[in-house]
Copies of this chain bind each other. A is one copy, B any other.
Amino acid sequence: MGKNEKMVQAITSREEDFSRWYTDICLRAELCSYSSVKGCIILRPYGYGIWELISCELDRRFKETGHQNVMMPLFIPEGMLQKEKDHVEGFAPEVAWVTHGGDEQLAERLCVRPTSETLFCDHYADIIESWRDLPKLYNQWVSVVRWEKTTRPFLRTREFFWQEGHTAHATEEEAVRETLDMLDLYAEFYQNALAIPVLRGLKSESEKFAGAVNTYTVEAMMHDGKALQAGTTHYLGDGFARAFDIQFTDKDNTLRYIHQTSWGISSRSIGGIIMVHGDDDGLILPPAVAPYQVVVIPIAAHKQGVGEKAAELVDRLKAAGLRVILDDSDRMPGWKYAEYEMKGVPIRLEIGPRDIEKGQCIAVSRDNREKRELPLDQAADLVPSLLEALHDRIYQKAKKSMESRIYDVESWDRFVETMEKTPGFIRAAWCGSEDCEAKVKEETTATSRCIADAKVPGSSSCVVCGKPALHTVFWGKAY
């Protein structure tokens, strides 16, 4: 029995084994394949299609806010990577090194970019001279390489796909504003494109980006209660500018260092979509990034007129700008239902002889399986509102699910117990010491996900050591 003959197989349920359920979906929905290169995955057409739509949604937002795309080289010379001390310490242990070109050994090793701050700095030093050259609001769409020990499709791979924004500004104030604006853009993107609610806040010193002054993050909660760092924005201060000597002549004719930011969202966002929305029958895709928003399935397709009416319906939907697939193969409708549920297509339209008699088709929403009769001549007008409603439902469901699993905790015993027994985030006060953070990690495997606000009201005390608290922090186990 060839692979096209097989029935749609059930996947592991989430309750049985969440991790295996995740991998089952990645493979059965044909998002990716393992490659012969350990830790690198192949993005198959369906998975890459989702990434294309994610890119498209983000790229539009970047361009609307004045950003421009560029392309830096794939390689960073060892000496260039070493210029900013904190940065190289953070990244050098996990980079892939090119040592030979053809048969010749290189005079200086090149690393395959793990991130491109140093390359942008090198370029900025070359092109920025005056305040008139600022700001530079650049972004690039590339893959980067980090030699991780443990890997997992989309969530942690040695090569992954992302966008990296790198901006240069005349003042600290403007750069900080950019850092926060991009954080807001990311949160808005997650909500409106991926239907994923996120918490946003500042990373602690020990969790921030190597070389940053401040790192901000959007954190999402997965179905199993664990956190996914879904995107980060970094205020880099003028540290890189000093290391790379990037100065500009300001309006008052003084030489000043630029202030920089960087920010990125990666293909791990696909892992987030799977783990926030998916169910035991497979993926559920937010309409904005679904390669097919609608699947049309003819019933009793051999009967006169069914094929034609189905094709007509597809044409109308496409003309309305929808992404549609027609499955008129010779498989049983039941097989098709299961297949497109696995792939998370938001709306299924069934059309058979009896429907045609009544001038209608049946719409089934992927998330709640609700059925609705749609008059054929109004289908193209009504499907967009079904898609919108689905988006809103899965967003509200995810939001409720996250909010109901944020626990306010004031004592250490209760912290340990909650982290062990109830999946989710803990909101608790923290004194700001790295020792307390380390103790949380060691005893519960959880980490500080983000600082919710600058100060806690009144006289709260640190949930770990009991000393006066500086911050309210969201804590959680993370992917």
User: How far is B75's CA from A88's CA once the two chains are assembled, in angstroms?
Assistant: 23
Q: Pick from B44, B100, B123: contact of A35, CB below 8 A.
A: B123
- Cα–Cα distance between A129 and B2 once the two chains are bound (Å): 6
List CB contacts (< 8 Å) of A30-48 with chain B.
33, 35-37, 40-45, 48
Q: Which of A91-99, A164-172, A366-374, A464-472 contacts B (4 or more CB under 8 A)?
A: A91-99
Task: Please tell me if A320 contacts chain B, counting CB pairs below 8 Å.
Answer: no
A35: chain B residues at CB < 8 Å are 72-73, 119, 122-123
> What's the minimum C-beta distance from A198 to chain B, rounded to whole angstroms?
26
Q: Which B residues touch A49, using CB under 8 A?
A: 68-69
> CA of A37 to CA of B98 in the docked complex: distance in angstroms?
12
Q: Are A102 and B94 in contact (CB under 8 A)?
A: yes
Question: B45 and A75: CB pair below 8 A?
Answer: no
Closest to A125 in B: B36
A 172-225 contacts with B by CB, 8 A: none
Among the stretches A10-18, A130-138, A454-462, the one at the interface with B is A130-138
Is A2's CB under 8 angstroms from B249's CB? yes
Question: Residue A356 at the B interface, CB < 8 A?
Answer: no
Decide yes or no whether A70 CB sits under 8 A from chain B. yes
A40 touches B2 (CB 8 A): no
A2-B249, A69-B45, A159-B74 known; A123-B93 Cβ under 8 A:
no
Judged by a CB distance under 8 angstroms, whether A52 is at the interface is: yes
Residues of B contacting A99 in the complex (Cβ-Cβ under 8 angstroms): 97-100
- Let me know if A102 and B98 touch, CB within 8 A: no
User: Closest CB-CB distance, A321 to chain B, in whole Å?
Assistant: 15
Closest to A74 in B: B159
Task: Determine whether the beta carbon of A70 is less than 8 Å from that of B98.
Answer: no
Query: What is the minimal beta-carbon distance from A421 to any residue of chain B, in angstroms?
Result: 37
Which residues of B sit under 8 angstroms from A40, Cβ to Cβ?
A: 73-75
- Chain A residues with CB under 8 Å of chain B are 2-5, 33, 35-37, 40-45, 48-49, 51-52, 68-77, 80, 92-103, 110, 112, 119, 122-123, 126-127, 129-130, 132-133, 138, 143, 145, 147, 158-159, 161, 249
- 7 A-B residue pairings within 8 Å (CB atoms): A2-B132, A3-B127, A41-B73, A43-B71, A73-B159, A75-B159, A101-B158
B130→A2 contact, CB < 8 A: yes
> Are A70 and B97 in contact, with the CB atoms below 8 A?
no
Q: Complex Cα distance A242/B92, Å?
A: 41
Give the complex CA separation of A147 and B102 in angstroms: 7
Residues of B within 8 A of A129 (CB): 2-4
The 5 A-B pairs with the shortest beta carbon distances in the complex, nearest first, are A101-B147, A2-B130, A40-B73, A43-B71, A45-B68
Task: Evaluate contact between B42 and A69: CB separation under 8 angstroms.
Answer: no
A153 to chain B, nearest CB (A): 13
- Bound CA–CA A345/B179 (angstroms): 33
Q: Which residues of B contact A51 (CB under 8 A)?
A: 71
Q: From the candidates B33, B71, B110, B112, name the one contacting A123 in the complex (CB within 8 A).
A: B33
How many angstroms from the CA of A48 to the CA of B80 in the assembled complex? Answer: 24
Q: How far is the CB of A71 from chain B (nearest CB, A)?
A: 4
CB A122 to nearest CB in B, in angstroms, measures: 5
Closest to A36 in B: B122
Q: Which residues of B contact A133 (CB under 8 A)?
A: 2-4
Distance to closest chain B CB from A290 (angstroms): 16
A161, closest chain B residue (CB): B71
A93: nearest chain-B partner, CB-CB: B102
Min CB distance A326 to B, Å, is 14
Q: How far is the CA of A76 from the CA of B97 in the complex (A)?
A: 14
Minimum CB–CB distance for A325 against chain B, Å: 12
Instruction: A75 to B147: give the CA distance in the assembly, Å.
Output: 12
B residues in contact with A112, CB < 8 Å: 74, 98, 112
Asked if residues B96 and A70 are in contact (CB atoms below 8 Å), the reply is no
Report the minimal beta-carbon distance from A270 to chain B, rounded to whole angstroms: 12
- Contact between chains at B100 and A100 (CB < 8 Å): no
B residues less than 8 Å from A102 (CB atoms)? 92-95, 147
